[in-house]
Amino acid sequence: MIVLQKAYPYYLANEAVFANEDLEVTDKYSGEVATRVAMADARTIDSAIDWALLAEKPMAKLAPYRRQEVLNHCVQRFHERFEELAESLCIEAGKPIHDSRGEVTRLIDTFRVAAEETVRINGEIINLEISKNTRGYRGFVKRVPVGACSFISPFNFPLNLAAHKVAPAIASGCPFVLKPASRTPIGALIIAEILAETDLPKGAFSVLPCHREGADLFTVDDRFKLLSFTGSPAVGWDLKARAGRKKVVLELGGNAACVIDENTDLDDALQRLIFGAFYQSGQSCIGVQRIYGHKSLYEELKQRLVEKTQKLKKGDPKDEGTFIGPMISEGEAKRLHGWVEEAINDGATLLCGGSRDGAMLDPTLLEGVPHECSIVQQEAFGPVAVLEPFDDFDEVLERVNDSAFGLQAGIFTKDLYRAQKAWDTLEVGGVVIGDVPSWRVDNMPYGGVKDSGLGREGVRWAIADMTEERLMVVRTP
């Protein structure tokens, strides 16, 4: 296991700045300080925005093949520093090492797909001859960069969710200023270190962990043309209300449901449910939180799911065999443990788990949870799932929809008509048939409806947000 650097800089206008060592980054398992990071103040953020504005024209003029070269350089360097990235993530996020390696793989995928898309940002020709009066007119549309972008990324996927903002920005020709989560800034700073090895125009990127008093500039400053935020609904909707005229993309989480229909291969479904509910200690906005099993197989599903859950190894995320590591903080573990106790006090049955030791929360299954309980209504964001039986497929789809969130849903069924009905009925951004809602690949459109946000991640869709159409009309006399 690597030892982190003693201190990390922030990156202002492509350059490392060791301004201070104000931010302590802890090993989330031991609780000890693992390293220190420079924090940016409001003046630094203001300077970063100025530099981003100066970089708008040089970035827009940067030929697509040169943007592609930058992204391909990053892919190569991520491969070379694979274990460093994974082990850093394991320390700063408390993410089990096998999950950490998986995230580095997705980081590479995201930059690779962005490199491919860089040379496919095309326009179109429009037939304008729709009447006698427009005879001889033709339209041509091209896509141009929207300009300087503000990015705010969360703690749970510090590499990949930063990548879903950074890589499309480079592909689009947009300079950006990124605020990584203060609990997990190291991954974003390593990405910045690798970008600094390239010849991107001065001001093309800044990566700035920052104090709260300066962070408002990421939202309210009108010099930014786009704000992309991933985080909690309460924060996200507040940012949108204060963002002014800029475009806003929000990915705000969910409480994903998974339906296990009567014709399901139960062995397959159980394996995927264990992954979906408990990978990276449940700290995923598409983690399986609500499980609905058909009454014909519900008892077997419950029994076997409990058996598998009780066998999951929890402990030090650096251990190759660990499946459940710590939550991001003891405070978050206390919050979710309180929701479990609330559900039990209101009549729910604890099937397994339910204990907490500091930031470590046992993988937990509950049954018969009243609908008004927090563990059903809110986003758990931890290793807890609730089970319920169902009889009627149409009715269970309504139960899935009975939520303030709508990010993704999973449906295990072999019935084509039921699969199509789920797709037509469910109020979510994505329906995954034959797998858990936690499945995602980085070139697909990803995002939600209702309190889960607006807009879509996924490289091609992010590029569409970071560019705008420009029309030329040609008249042939």
Q: Which residues are catalytic?
A: 251, 285
Closest CA to 212 of 41, 43, 48: 41
**b/e map 359-396, b = 16+ CB within 10 Å:** bbbbbbbbbebeeebbbbbbbbbbbbbbbbbbeebeeb
Which amino acid is present at 457? Answer: E
207 is written with which tokens?
């990566």
Neighbours of 417 (CB within 10 A): 9
Strand 449-450 and strand 405-406: the pairing is antiparallel
Closest CA to 365 of 410, 285, 304: 304
**b/e map 231-256, b = 16+ CB within 10 Å:** bbbeebbebbeebeebbbbbbbbbbb
Integer Cα distance of 249 and 261 in angstroms: 34
Residue 8 is given by DSSP the state: E
Q: Tokens 């499980």 sit at which residue? A: 291
Closest CA to 25 of 39, 17, 35: 35
What does 300-333 look like in DSSP terms, one character per residue? HHHHHHHHHHHT--BS-TTSTT--B---S-HHHH
User: What Å distances lie between residue 211 and 23, 38, 44, 184, 214, CA to CA?
Assistant: 9, 10, 11, 14, 6
328 is written with which tokens?
């991001």
